[in-house]
Structure 1
Amino acid sequence: MVVTTGAAPASAVPATAAAGAANAAERVETPVTSSSPVTEVTESAVRLKIPLPASAGPRPEACDWLSYLRFRHKDGPAASARADRILVAQPGVLEGAGAFNSVARNTIAQAAKGGKYVEFWALDRRSNCLEDNTGVLAGLAAGDAHLAVDYYYRKKPIDGRTFAGYQSNDQVTFLQNVGLAQTIRDQYDLMAAEIPDQAQRKRLMMCGGHSLGGVLTGFFSKWDFDGDRSTTADAGYNQCSGYFALDTRIQTGLPGLEGQVPAELIPLIKFGADAVRTGLENGIVPRTLSAPAVINSETMNLLSIAGLAARLAPGGRSDLATYIPESFNTDTTYRLLFSKDLATFIKGSPKIQDFAFTNAAALGALMDDDSEPLAFIQTSVGFFDGGRIVDKDFPVPNDLAKAGLPFLRNLLGTENKAIPDEPNGPLYTWRNYDDVAGLPYKSKDGTLFTTPETEVTDIAELARSLSEHPLDFTEDYFPTKIVTDIALAAAPGIADPAVHDGGIKANPTINLEGGDGIGFTDPQPGDVIAPGYQHLDVLTAAAVQNGGKPELISTSLARFATG
């Protein structure tokens, strides 16, 4: 671990050239151990003490720190300032730094083949300070997923620490002040602290992100950071030499939604900025994006636990659905995700506990594009095997979902959904992305549920990304204010510093789109389009694709970064 306080000598900070900045931040860098097969890339977690303003209100001390995962080549320079390029990435909605694990490693490895040493900085937004990953990381160290469940659900302490519970709306009051402006400022402050010289930042850094990260980068490019629009050294576009968009666009509206946030998502939007601000302050508008089931802090953490079990024993029989205590949230989530039709959902039978899955199959059921009903969570990691498979016609029948309606495509994805159909029967196993050729399972329309051409992510690598990082794959407490600020950006006081209208066009951009993703709904000339990729696959796809092809997103990004 490297700890730096204040303006320490550069020789004491082998990680970066952050020392010497007038406002040098306290800094901690900790190596991260990974079982990734891309062994030439090293990883560390970096934390910088950059406090929120007092006006943000009371918050945990951890929330006065900013964090990111730093990926670099093991043979490259120890100091970031000596790298050939640094890619700085903003995550999407409900997404944390760990989600970039595969694309970061693959990009760095590809760049090194051309003799260039690239770093990849996967940012964690400030709200991730509220997460407690103790249980998952302890379970990983001990080789026991039950340890994580005991910590989060049975109040069993780990090293003297007891889980404090998932934070309620009243416990995250300060997030009503952590919106677009604070998120953009946080990125600038972190970049400036790590590479203090603006000219060097401009030369070294490329800015971008996944999904919402493209929108945040669009605002970043236009932002004026010193309050004087006549000076431009501080402008966002002058902190980066280029932009990269991962299944998104570098723009200031949300992709896949015609640039707008639907009023149905947050109804108070239609009443304007003052109504939203009052709603957040009063708690009428939830301060984090959450729902009673499927989308909330507990269910986001469940993905990490499922990833942990699949990481430790992929072929072992899963017992998480029975070992995790029942609750309204877990029961409703399971019913929404694992009901084959409306009748099954209403009856609650058969239920997930009636089926036998391996740990890998349980994770695949949660996140594969042939099973998971929500497009923004889908990856293409393979398919079920071992028993009868039928169409999953809930929450929407496959024939309606495939009708071509843009809204349903963006919500549900492009693939027919499938589900095991033998309760109290065989053990359902999982066939990895590179092992689906010859599977006989067909939808009721006569087509195969999957083929090798549409499978791109290694489920083992997905499990690692979910469970091995101190800054995890998910964002359990996504601030609602970020989304409402984007929707209401034209209102006074929200995005006033976004004055450099030419910022988005000021630097070259590469658009890296999933062929079946959300960002591909409006293809443009020059886009790099990865066939068969879902929204998350642009981050998680394996380095070697079916047929031995190199992974398209990372090879294209490496070429852009070093060209």
Structure 2
Amino acid sequence: MPQSFSQRTEEFRYRVGDVDVSSVTWRHPCGARGAPAEYDALTYLRYHRHEGDSRPVTPDLVLSLQPGNTGGPSSFDPVARNIVAALGHRGLRCEVWAMARRSQRLADATGMRAALARGDHRVAVDYYYRGRSLDGRTFPGWLPARRQGFLTRYGVEQAVSDWHFVHAREIPDPADRARRLFLGGHSLGGPLANLYCQWDFPTGPGYREVAGVIGLDGPIAVDPLDLAGHARPAAEAARRVLPAAAAAMRTGLLPASNNWGALRLGDIAVLTGIAALAARFEPEAESTLLPEVPRTLLVDGLFRLLYPRGGPRRWRLTNAALFGTLFGRVAQATTLSNDMGGYTGPPRGKRAALTGLARIPLAGELFAATLSERPLAMPADPGVLTGWVDGGESISSFDDTVLAWGNGEFSYINGYESRLLPVEAVLGMFGALPAARHREWMDSVPALTVASGLWTPIRRRRGPRPQEIEAPGYSHQDVLSARQPDVVVESVADFLAAHLPARRTA
């Protein structure tokens, strides 16, 4: 049963090795008109060492992380557990808090939780696709666009204010936060950490209450593109663009979230989450998931890209191979993929012309960063059952990735991510947000960026920086789930240990 502490509840979720994972929720209404009750709560995943008893232990340090654009807290699962374990081996009690933005709670995880509890992914299939009820509840479907208007108000101010609310409740003393609270983020979470440091909170500038900042393949620098000579024109242009974009969302000309129209991100979250549960419980069994999923423009369009010549409904795949098809770098190689093995048997290549674009100067660099320059593969014979092998030479662990996706929640992807948030976050780095005005924070706060291929074209154009470390060959997602030991966890652990306590004068 969850434990209650006034407005705070905490529920144990699972244990891996000596690391416990629990979900912490604070009730914190924001007054968004038209928002459901679930929106009035803030949740994060708490990763901490299992202490063997129920006595509360004050951690030596806390690393609080924001996920990337459309990302959820479970995307941090492997790297969070590994950081806690690595620092534990150094005698330091570390907690990692993986934030879930408000809209994460809008997804109905009833079927996922029930499937996890019963160890059977088919429970989720019945709930989400066949109208079966669980404990008297049936899947209500997705919020229609007309009922998502409250998300048009969710921008950087709400995101950083919510983040600060959690920090101020969990570590009430600002001076204590300044000693042992580290911020970080993956992808879009990097700019959010930067803007948090720049922000004026009721207790003062954000940077005065943090001990250090970490970017995981996400830029945390105030001027990530070295535009100092063009700062004023860039800020003026950003201030003109931002109101127009916000107005277009509020009037319905642009979608309020990613869960909109025929291309709903929530559908991908459901499908991939169920595939992960199947790969977790019955990895070698032949998958029956695709025949059970209704044909839709999104699902069939996606699989036509993954499997030319008819789509994968005519291929025989194990549950592990289906999940590998959805998230494996060898099969689809977008920024939302891991290098975590490949198909059994002799595969055949596909989309050679597409990956060949990576050889075009400049444009090819951007293409290779967002997609891949690696050859893509698919099973050679649709009539032969094809499995998946987690090769020891791959960067990420297949099992860790399956656990991050198949943990009973919609928490690897945030299907209802506000579209205003990334627009404001990007333009905010160019001075479009008046409350983000402490651009001097990097002179006072230690910072580290671990970069993979996604940011390589930008980094090559502006040159390396001393506080940046490169993870060669890593995809945008490998940064979060690489096997141990690896450059990400070792670099982050070194940085955290070196700057605890960080004693600075503001």
Query: TM-score, length-normalised on structure 2?
Result: 0.89
Tell me how far 1:134 sits from its aligned partner: 1.3
Q: Does 1:221 pair with 2:197?
A: yes
Tell me how far 1:509 sits from its aligned partner: 1.0
| RMSD (CA atoms) | 2.7
Q: Does 1:320 pair with 2:320?
A: no
Tell me the residue number matched to 2:29.
Answer: 51
- Alpha-carbon separation, structure 2, partners of 1:160 and 1:413: 45
Residues 156 and 424, structure 2, Cα contact 8 Å, conserved in 1? yes
- Alpha-carbon separation, structure 2, partners of 1:204 and 1:220: 16
Tell me how far 1:388 sits from its aligned partner: 3.7
What do the CA deviations read for 1:214-245 (whole angstroms, capped 9, x no partner)? 0000100100012xxxxxx5211012100111
Residues 355 and 372, structure 2, Cα contact 8 Å, conserved in 1? no
Percent of aligned pairs with the same residue?
A: 30
Flag the 1:83–1:520 CA change in 2: closer, same or farther, 3 A: farther
Q: Does 1:237 pair with 2:198?
A: no
- Alpha-carbon separation, structure 1, partners of 2:102 and 2:37: 12
Please state whether the residue corresponding to 2:26 is helix, strand or coil: strand
Tell me how far 1:357 sits from its aligned partner: 0.9
**Match for 1:163 among 139, 154, 159?**
139
Tell me how far 1:181 sits from its aligned partner: 0.8
Amino acid at match of 1:505: D
What do the CA deviations read for 1:13-33 (whole angstroms, capped 9, x no partner)? xxxxxxxxxxxxx01000012
Q: Does 1:432 pair with 2:390?
A: yes
Q: How many residues align?
A: 484
What do the CA deviations read for 1:285-320 (whole angstroms, capped 9, x no partner)? 100135766662211222111111111111111111
Pairs within 5 Å for 1:94-109: 94-109=70-85
Query: TM-score, length-normalised on structure 1?
Result: 0.81
Q: Does 1:359 pair with 2:335?
A: no
- Alpha-carbon separation, structure 2, partners of 1:2 and 1:234: 34
Residues 96 and 124, structure 1, Cα contact 8 Å, conserved in 2? yes
**Match for 1:464 among 396, 403, 406?**
403
Please state whether the residue corresponding to 1:140 is helix, strand or coil: helix
Please state whether the residue corresponding to 1:87 is helix, strand or coil: strand
Pairs within 5 Å for 1:405-554: 405-423=364-382, 425-434=383-392, 452=393, 455-468=394-407, 470=409, 472-489=411-428, 495-514=433-452, 516-518=453-455, 521-522=458-459, 523-543=464-484, 550-554=485-489
Residues 19 and 84, structure 2, Cα contact 8 Å, conserved in 1? yes
Residues 19 and 50, structure 2, Cα contact 8 Å, conserved in 1? yes
- Alpha-carbon separation, structure 2, partners of 1:78 and 1:414: 50
* Unaligned runs of at least 5 residues, structure 1: 7-25, 227-232, 259-267, 345-349, 435-451, 544-549
Q: Does 1:117 pair with 2:58?
A: no
Tell me the residue number matched to 2:61.
Answer: 85
What do the CA deviations read for 1:413-444 (whole angstroms, capped 9, x no partner)? 34222222322x2111111031xxxxxxxxxx
Tell me the residue number matched to 1:438.
Answer: none
- Alpha-carbon separation, structure 2, partners of 1:83 and 1:308: 32
Tell me the residue number matched to 1:449.
Answer: none
What do the CA deviations read for 1:314-364 (whole angstroms, capped 9, x no partner)? 11111111111222222112112322xxxx4xxxxx221111111111111
What do the CA deviations read for 1:55-105 (whole angstroms, capped 9, x no partner)? x21211111100000000113997877211100000001110011110011
Residues 216 and 252, structure 1, Cα contact 8 Å, conserved in 2? no
Tell me how far 1:269 sits from its aligned partner: 8.7
* Unaligned runs of at least 5 residues, structure 2: 229-236, 499-506
- Alpha-carbon separation, structure 1, partners of 2:120 and 2:226: 40
- Alpha-carbon separation, structure 1, partners of 2:103 and 2:271: 18
Tell me the residue number matched to 2:501.
Answer: none
Tell me how far 1:398 sits from its aligned partner: 2.2
Please state whether the residue corresponding to 1:510 is helix, strand or coil: strand
Amino acid at match of 2:39: C
- Alpha-carbon separation, structure 1, partners of 2:13 and 2:134: 20
**Match for 2:170 among 177, 190, 194?**
194
Moved more, 404-413 or 115-124: 404-413
Tell me the residue number matched to 2:8.
Answer: 27
Tell me how far 1:254 sits from its aligned partner: 7.9
Residues 347 and 377, structure 2, Cα contact 8 Å, conserved in 1? no
Pairs within 5 Å for 1:367-386: 367-375=327-335, 377-386=336-345
Tell me how far 1:205 sits from its aligned partner: 0.5
Tell me the residue number matched to 2:495.
Answer: 560
- Alpha-carbon separation, structure 2, partners of 1:328 and 1:314: 27
Residues 137 and 467, structure 1, Cα contact 8 Å, conserved in 2? no
Residues 384 and 431, structure 1, Cα contact 8 Å, conserved in 2? yes
Divergent runs of 4+, >4 A = 76-81, 252-258, 268-271, 290-295
What do the CA deviations read for 1:495-527 (whole angstroms, capped 9, x no partner)? 22112121233211121222x344675143343
